């Protein structure tokens, strides 16, 4: 019987996964305004890559994670150059269609290569089981997740606020034309940010195999969640995405636990309400392009 704190804890863990996967989408959406519905494909790729590395190449869980990050980041650059870049100035509809096409290919491909079932993953021994904290039994893996995500978040915030590259990103998100005229090569900034965001998504997907599950329908199944987090949090805002992700994570877990018949109903209703109250996201900014 999970107490409220337990539900919240689970929700936060779930939310942090959503954050890691979605933050890349938020930045790229805020930066280029590109409607990439296929962002979940990167997460899915990360998950499948992790499983393959562990089972076929015998690499351990922890060492495999950074490999997944780098591989997905590089792979995303290829996609960006060939498919996304020609359509930056295009209409939202066209962009949506392209990303739907990518989702279809990825789903069919995953089905073909890995079969349609859930992928099992063996997490290392020391991460299984529970830890007793403040009178609660908390899953070690989920705790590990939250710590990793907290670290990533701090890294992101530090990177954005303190480094020069981070300043360039912020400037480009705020006002692209202005940034260009100040000598910032927005296109290069975007490429690197895109790679970073996609890499993070891959990492999130790998970390999440145990919590979110992994099957060929992953990209579609969680599409709404990622978009939701980004739109509600406000495109372009890291903190907004974090807030939205944690909020929605807790809401979804609580909803499914306390009112299971309503299931996903709660989260969609919550999304609609939040979007109506905050049409530009909780912490979103309007971009001047």
Supply the minimum distance, in Å, between the C-beta of residue 282 and another protein. Answer: 12
Distance between CA atoms of residues 48 and 50, nearest Å: 5
254 touching another protein, by CB under 8 A: no
Nearer to another protein, 13 or 271 (CB): 271
103 touching another protein, by CB under 8 A: yes
Q: Which of 68, 156, 219, 227 binds another protein (CB under 8 A)?
A: 227
Total residues in contact with another protein, by rule CB under 8 A: 44
| Residue (of 13, 9, 7, 24) closest to 200 by Cα position | 24
* Burial class of residue 10 (count of CB atoms within 10 Å of its CB; 0-12, 13-18, 19+): buried
Q: Which stretch binds another protein (CB under 8 A): 7-15, 142-150, 190-198, 224-232?
A: 224-232
In 94-201, at which residue ranges do the beta strands (DSSP E only) sit? 130-133, 136-139
Two tokens, residue 234: 């406000």
Distance between CA atoms of residues 3 and 236, nearest Å: 35
Q: Give me the count of residues in the chain.
A: 289
Supply the minimum distance, in Å, between the C-beta of residue 95 and another protein. Answer: 8
Nearer to another protein, 45 or 149 (CB): 45
Distance between CA atoms of residues 205 and 199, nearest Å: 10
Q: Which of 5, 62, 94, 150 binds another protein (CB under 8 A)?
A: 94
CB 196 within 8 A of CB 73: yes
Distance between CA atoms of residues 29 and 165, nearest Å: 18
Nearer to another protein, 145 or 229 (CB): 229
Supply the minimum distance, in Å, between the C-beta of residue 162 and another protein. Answer: 26
Nearer to another protein, 188 or 280 (CB): 280
Q: Which of 20, 21, 27, 29 binds another protein (CB under 8 A)?
A: 29
263 touching another protein, by CB under 8 A: yes
Nearer to another protein, 9 or 235 (CB): 235
Distance between CA atoms of residues 74 and 273, nearest Å: 38
Nearer to another protein, 111 or 163 (CB): 111
DSSP state for residue 278 in the 8-state scheme? -
Straight-line distance from the first to the last Cα atom of the chain, in angstroms, rounded to the nearest whole number: 51
Two tokens, residue 233: 């949090």
DSSP state for residue 128 in the 8-state scheme? S
Q: Which stretch binds another protein (CB under 8 A): 58-66, 80-88, 151-159, 166-174?
A: 80-88
Supply the minimum distance, in Å, between the C-beta of residue 136 and another protein. Answer: 31
97 touching another protein, by CB under 8 A: yes
Q: Which stretch binds another protein (CB under 8 A): 122-130, 135-143, 156-164, 258-266?
A: 258-266
* Residue 1: strand, helix, or coil: coil
Distance between CA atoms of residues 101 and 41, nearest Å: 11
Distance between CA atoms of residues 167 and 220, nearest Å: 34
Q: Which of 6, 59, 109, 140 binds another protein (CB under 8 A)?
A: 109
Chain positions contacting another protein, by CB under 8 A: 29, 35, 83, 86-87, 90, 92-98, 100-109, 111-112, 220, 224, 227-228, 231, 235, 261-265, 268-269, 271-272, 275-276, 279-280
């Amino acid at each position: 019987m999970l107490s409220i704190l337990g539900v919240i804890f689970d929700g936060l863990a779930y939310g942090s996964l959503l954050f890691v996967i979605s933050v890349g989408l938020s930045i790229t959406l805020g930066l280029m305004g590109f409607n990439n519905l296929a962002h979940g494909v990167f997460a899915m790729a990360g998950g499948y890559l992790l499983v393959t590395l562990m089972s076929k190449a015998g690499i351990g869980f922890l060492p495999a994670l950074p490999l997944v990050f780098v591989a997905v980041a590089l792979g995303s650059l290829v996609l960006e150059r060939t498919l996304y870049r020609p359509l930056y100035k295009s209409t939202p509809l066209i962009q949506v269609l392209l990303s739907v096409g990518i989702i279809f290919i990825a789903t069919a491909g995953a089905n073909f290569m890995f079969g349609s079932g859930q992928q099992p993953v063996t997490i290392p021994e020391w991460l299984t089981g529970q830890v007793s904290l403040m009178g609660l039994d908390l899953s070690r893996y989920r705790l590990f997740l939250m710590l990793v995500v907290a670290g990533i978040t701090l890294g992101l915030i530090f990177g954005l606020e303190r480094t020069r590259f981070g300043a360039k990103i912020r400037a480009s998100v705020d006002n692209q034309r202005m940034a260009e005229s100040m000598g910032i090569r927005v296109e290069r900034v975007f490429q690197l940010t895109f790679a970073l965001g996609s890499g993070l998504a891959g990492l999130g997907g790998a970390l999440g195999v145990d919590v979110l599950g992994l099957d060929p329908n992953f990209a579609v199944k969680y599409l709404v969640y990622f978009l939701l987090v980004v739109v509600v949090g406000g495109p372009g805002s890291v903190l907004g995405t974090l807030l939205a992700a944690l909020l929605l994570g807790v809401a979804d877990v609580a909803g499914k636990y306390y009112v299971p018949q309503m299931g996903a109903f709660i989260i969609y209703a919550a999304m609609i309400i939040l979007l109506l109250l905050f049409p530009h996201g909780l912490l979103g900014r309007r971009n001047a392009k």
